[in-house]
Structure 1
Amino acid sequence: MSIGEVLSELRPEFPDTTISKLRFLEAEGLVEPERTASGYRKYSWDDVARLRFVLTAQRDQYLPLRVIRAQLAELEAAGSAPVALRLVGAPDPDAPAPAIEVADTRCSRTELLERTGLADSALAEIERLGLITCRSPGWYDEDALAIAQAVAGLARHGIEPRHLRAFRASADREVGLYAQLIAPLARQRDPAARARAAETAHELAGLSQALHAALLRAGLRDVLER
């Protein structure tokens, strides 16, 4: 397959994937497609399976590339890489095509209220507090939807939007900290550097989420054991 065909194969499951990202993963040694005599990349199904392995580990476990690279090396050393990777991604010609649910990337105000169960007044309040922002010309992205769903869930436990100011302030501090690491890469015109910036942002977000969850579990465990 060409790089464009690989992108079409992966995009339904990994919508954030781009040609620049595929080239970046190749530059990082995660996949090594063959080259034609004229220099064009040609990917095999095993290459696509490796890419699925990498993208799944990033999305679901927030693993850095060096850890994913080590996992692939261990599979290859054990002689189980082809089987393991085919289980992750290569198609079974006798199996029915799986139904793929593609997440909405945007929704209207009415749709957001319907999908979260928030009252219009509650949505207006979390907008006023800066927890979510309506994009022009009047739609909300998937992050806004996720935030609204979380706010609605917390509300069912009696936690009101006004109690969530600290979350916004904490997130802003983290953004400021991580921006110092990401901005120099993001400002470069080199597509590989910009792809590396996106990978770093994804990894940092995952690590922050894991740290925050662990700190909460540790604190709540102390409460439960009193």
Structure 2
Amino acid sequence: MGSAASRSSGALPKLSIGQVLQRLGAEHPELTPSKIRFLEEQGLVHPARTSSGYRKFSDADVERIRTILALQRDYYLPLKVIAEHLESLDRGERPELPTPVAPRPKANGGSIFSSEAEFSREELLRRSGASRELLEQAQAASLLPRATTFTADDLNMLTALIELERSGIGPRHLRPFRTSAQHEIGLIEQALTGISRKPDSTHRHRTEAKAEELADALERVRRGLVRQSLRDRHNGR
């Protein structure tokens, strides 16, 4: 994880949002221009502006964004806590961080089937910064389970819902995503039919690895279709 840089350090601002994405995309494929703009709106990053109003980022800005994303990914910290952490770093302090949240490793290296860190309802709300109302709405929309314990995936889902809610996209708008996910599961199960019938552990590991590979490919297709549609709308097609 890169250390947070002060706003005045680093090379002169010269990078566009697209160039920032190129630098950070491999490490953080979920990063988008809207995410960077959102971080700016929240006062976490401060790009310079050209006379035409275009954002320009310095190397220090890129490192700051990398730090923010790593704190979200590894610690699941709400943005308010991340902002306080960055301010402490800017003052030259060395604030402590909680223990990173990560799936517990398994013999096969871990997968979407692996056991994950578990949180109580209260811990889930505290770590995400979400309101009880948002959690209840997410459960009503079948985006999160009605359970007493939650996983790191649930925490990641809830933090995403917080960001969407700020733009007026609530859990009720995302019900079709649940239906789409069930359709994808059907496709994956169909593709795995020949492998999953064999009971030994070697074939079970192959099944898990193949399922994760297919889930990742379907995610890339979905993301690509959304971006393609956005480009088409922008170009007036």
TM-score normalized by the length of structure 2: 0.50
- The question of 1:123 aligning with 2:135 is answered yes
**Cα distance in 2 between the residues matched to 1:125 and 1:139:** 17
CA-CA distance at 1:21 after TM superposition: 6.4
- The question of 1:189 aligning with 2:191 is answered no
**Cα distance in 2 between the residues matched to 1:16 and 1:115:** 18
Note the 1:209-224 alignment, pairs <5 A: 209-224=219-234
CA-CA distance at 1:110 after TM superposition: 1.2
Match of 1:206 among 196, 213, 216: 216
Match of 1:107 among 119, 143, 147: 119
**Cα distance in 1 between the residues matched to 2:210 and 2:117:** 22
For the residue of structure 1 that corresponds to 2:142, the secondary structure is coil
Tell me which amino acid in the other structure corresponds to 1:125.
Answer: Q
Gaps of 5+ in 1: 1-11, 23-103
Q: Deviations over 1:115-136 (max 9, x none)?
A: 222211111111122111144x
Deviation larger for 147-156 or 111-120? 111-120
Tell me the residue number matched to 1:151: 161
CA-CA distance at 1:201 after TM superposition: 0.8
C-alpha change, 1:141 and 1:115, in structure 2 (3 Å) is same
**Cα distance in 1 between the residues matched to 2:104 and 2:211:** 13
Count how many residue pairs are aligned between Structure 1 and Structure 2.
Answer: 132
**Cα distance in 2 between the residues matched to 1:162 and 1:124:** 11
Gaps of 5+ in 2: 1-99, 111-115
For the residue of structure 2 that corresponds to 1:118, the secondary structure is coil
Q: Is the 8 A contact 1:125 1:161 kept in 2?
A: yes
**Cα distance in 2 between the residues matched to 1:141 and 1:202:** 17
Q: Deviations over 1:130-165 (max 9, x none)?
A: 111144xx1101221121111111111110111001
Tell me the residue number matched to 2:190: 180
Higher relative contact order (CA 8 A, sep 6+): 1
CA-CA distance at 1:17 after TM superposition: 5.5
Note the 1:1-226 alignment, pairs <5 A: 18-19=106-107, 105-135=117-147, 138-226=148-236
**Cα distance in 1 between the residues matched to 2:231 and 2:224:** 10
Aligned-pair identity (%): 34
For the residue of structure 2 that corresponds to 1:189, the secondary structure is coil
Tell me which amino acid in the other structure corresponds to 1:148.
Answer: L
If each structure's helix is expressed as a fraction of its own residues, which one has the higher value?
A: 1
Q: State which structure, 1 or 2, has the greater radius of gyration over its C-alpha atoms.
A: 1
